[in-house]
Amino acid sequence: MAFDRALNMASTTDQDASVLEVMHDTTYRYATDVALAHHVAYLQPAATPFQQLESFRIGVAPQPSVARTDEDVFGNHRFHFSLDVPHPKLAVRAVSRVRITPRFVGFEPHATSPWADVAGRLAYRAGGRYGPQSEFAYPSPFIPRHRELGNYAATSFTATRSIASGAIDLMHRIHRDFKYDADSTEISTPVLEAFNQRRGVCQDFAHVMIGGLRTMGLAARYVSGYLLTQPRPGRPRMIGADASHAWVSVWCPNLDGSSTWLDLDPTNDLIPSTSHVTLAVGRDFGDVSPLRGIIRGGGDHKLTVGVTVRPVDERAA
């Protein structure tokens, strides 16, 4: 069956732990000097039971006048920095090393609760018990509620189907029905526009899937991160040629009452394993944008982003 194929990829592609190095470079070049700037970056990989952060460093040029690190409401690491000297250019480099072990080996979609039961548990009731997963069951700035998204998702959720089986089927359908097109959308493109044109980038694929799940009354998170890609046979890995990635995490309580978040990558039609590096989770892209800020001055600007993800043993070689 279709979901078996996705699980197969999660459990057999990368059986052992992988150690990956990520280098993320961001450069802004301004038409005129920026006099004052305040920025926040989500560039430090998360520490989870399946992802160990072995090292992390971040550098900023010019040197920030103020810099601090904290956690947001979702537990993500944030790096705040300010510059109060005129600068025509801003450069930020983050270098990470992570050890990742397979996340969903042995996961059984049919052993999760029926999706309708899950939606019932997430429905708002005055005086009802609050669960932190409900934070991700309602509309957010980039993903408002649209009936069209719910109607599309509903095909995957028959009356008695389990939550994981339905979500995996929805992932397959989005991958099949939508075309990856880097020139079709921008960061600000509304989710319904990407849905109607059936094309976009990983951010759009994730937003469409999350919108459909939430309209069905289910909880789904936006995951920001990176993906290890493979160079063409016989060709070296291109430095800086990769990009940030995004996928979906859906709340899938099991029949025994235990709870899990199942990651699904609709852009690549697979369940993430040891090639996906998790940076942060939020309601949508706006919560976990890798780098954003407020500046005074600057005029027009040019943004350049380069990402390299590679195995540590390849780097040593």
Give 70's strand partners: 78
In a domain, 317, yes or no: no
- Note whether 152 and 219 are same-domain residues: yes
In a domain, 246, yes or no: yes
Span 132-148, average pLDDT: 95
- Note whether 137 and 11 are same-domain residues: yes
- Note whether 51 and 115 are same-domain residues: no
- Note whether 253 and 130 are same-domain residues: yes
pLDDT bucket at 5, cuts 50 / 70 / 90: very low
The range of the structural domain enclosing residue 33 comes to: 18-100+291-311
Note the pLDDT tens digit of each residue in 64-80: 999 999 999 999 999 99
- Note whether 132 and 246 are same-domain residues: yes
Residue 301, token pair as written in the block = 């600007």
pLDDT bucket at 303, cuts 50 / 70 / 90: very high
Is the per-residue pLDDT at 15 higher than 60? Answer: no
pLDDT attached to residue 3 = 41
pLDDT attached to residue 2 = 42
- Note whether 96 and 148 are same-domain residues: no
Span 9-35, average pLDDT: 81
- Note whether 25 and 130 are same-domain residues: no
pLDDT attached to residue 256 = 75
Sign of CA pseudo-dihedral 137, 205, 46, 89: negative
pLDDT attached to residue 235 = 65
- Note whether 118 and 161 are same-domain residues: yes
CATH number for the domain spanning 229: value is 3.10.620.30
Note the pLDDT tens digit of each residue in 208-259: 999 999 999 999 999 999 999 876 666 655 554 578 999 999 999 987 777 7
Give the C-alpha separation, 238 to 230, whole Å: 10
**Would you call the peptide bond into 62 cis, given omega within 30 degrees of 0 as the criterion?**
yes
Is the per-residue pLDDT at 296 higher than 70? Answer: yes
pLDDT attached to residue 16 = 76
Could you tell me how far CA 155 lies from the centroid of its own chain? 24
pLDDT attached to residue 252 = 95
Is the per-residue pLDDT at 172 higher than 80? Answer: yes
Is the per-residue pLDDT at 11 higher than 70? Answer: no
pLDDT attached to residue 129 = 79
Positions of E strands within the chain: 18-41, 51-61, 66-71, 77-83, 87-100, 179-180, 199-200, 220-227, 244-251, 261-264, 276-282, 291-297, 301-311
Is the per-residue pLDDT at 27 higher than 50? Answer: yes
Span 177-197, average pLDDT: 94
**Count of residues in the chain:** 317
- Note whether 253 and 142 are same-domain residues: yes
Percent of the chain with pLDDT over 70: 91
Mean pLDDT over all residues of the chain?
Answer: 90
The neighbour count for residue 297, using CB atoms within 10 Å, is: 15
In a domain, 137, yes or no: yes
In a domain, 316, yes or no: no
CATH number for the domain spanning 54: value is 2.60.40.2250
Percent of the chain with pLDDT over 90: 79
Give the C-alpha separation, 219 to 6, whole Å: 21
Using an 8 Å Cβ cutoff, are 93 and 79 in contact?
A: no
- Note whether 42 and 124 are same-domain residues: no
- Note whether 153 and 257 are same-domain residues: yes
Give the C-alpha separation, 218 to 112, whole Å: 13
- Note whether 84 and 31 are same-domain residues: yes
| 3-class secondary structure, 19 | strand
What's the total number of domains in the chain? 2
pLDDT attached to residue 4 = 44
pLDDT attached to residue 134 = 93
pLDDT attached to residue 232 = 67
CA of 256: how far to CAs of 42, 259, 303, in Å?
Answer: 35, 9, 49
Is the per-residue pLDDT at 1 higher than 50? Answer: no
